[in-house]
Amino acid sequence: MVKQQDAVFRQAYPAPPYWVARFDVANPPAPGAFVLADLGGPLRQALFPATIDADGFTVMLPPHHPATRLLPGATVNVLGPLGQGFRIDGVTRLLLVAEIASLPPLLPLLEAAPAVALVIEAPTRAQLPPPDRFPPAVELTLVTRDGSAGHLGPLESQDPAPANLERVMPRLVELIAWAECACFACPNDRYPALAAIVRAARVQPAPDFAQALVQVPMPCGVGACEVCRTQTRATAQTQGGEKHACIDGPVFDMLLL
Ligand code: FES
């Protein structure tokens, strides 16, 4: 049975390009899992943790999200934890890859393995977070689609780079070859191309070597409304077909999407 809990909103503050909101709750969600919060609108809102501790969690949200307008001390009814998060037990070399708007659910993994590499892609330099916001031990690769900072994106491009710019693809392939597990948070339509890069970079990657957070609306969170249906592929080991992101995901083996 899915649990409801009362979370207590503590504070919200800007951390461009996001806002950070802090909730105290008895059972916070694991990385990649979520709660559905009643924030006063017609539908509950999915909240994915960006940091997790014994007393609760923080979320990183777009400016103007309804959670940023709560009053400190407000009680918020939440459903969950819900869903299947990232599966990284025992991983020692972890690669995280995100488009900037999708990055927050990967943030609890920054210190989840002895060695972590993080690749962040943004449209342009101004939308990249400052590097000092990440733990110093994290190996950071910044990517911009316009080449204004870091490597030139997009992640999937193999086109030759203009003079003085370095395409990110060789670096990404190198990191995929280095990693024991790679977790991706990007728009869903980018996953097939990213999966092709993984298949090219590794010989027979193990199940769950590449995991992807699927982003779909999840209004009920319990497999009842069918809104979050996600198509997966069959393999010799797994039965494919339609899955529910809210209960079978939202983290899936990217090579099965
Ligand atoms: S959110 Fe309703 S079935 Fe998944």
The CATH-assigned architecture of domain 4-82 is: Beta Barrel (2.40)
The CATH classification of domain 93-216+249-256, taken from the options 3.40.50.300, 3.30.479.30, 3.40.50.80, 3.30.420.40: 3.40.50.80
pLDDT confidence band for 2 (50 / 70 / 90): low
| Ligand 1 atom with minimal separation from the 226 CA | 3
pLDDT at 1: 62
- Which tokens go with 169? 């693809």
Nearest by Cα to 198 from 159, 255, 252:
255
pLDDT at 238: 75
pLDDT at 106: 98
The domain limits of the chain are: 4-82, 93-216+249-256
Q: For 166-175, what is each residue's pLDDT tens digit? A: 999 999 999 9
Task: With a cut of 90, say whether residue 189 has pLDDT above it.
Answer: yes
Q: Are the beta carbons of 167 and 160 closer than 8 angstroms?
A: yes
pLDDT at 93: 98
pLDDT at 237: 74
Q: Are the beta carbons of 25 and 5 closer than 8 angstroms?
A: yes
Task: Measure 201 CA to ligand 1 centroid, in angstroms.
Answer: 34
* Mean pLDDT value across residues 185-201: 97
* pTM: predicted TM-score of the whole model, two decimal places: 0.95
Q: Average pLDDT of the chain?
A: 95
Burial class (CB in 10 A: 0-12, 13-18, 19+), 25: buried
Task: Measure 181 CA to ligand 1 centroid, in angstroms.
Answer: 28
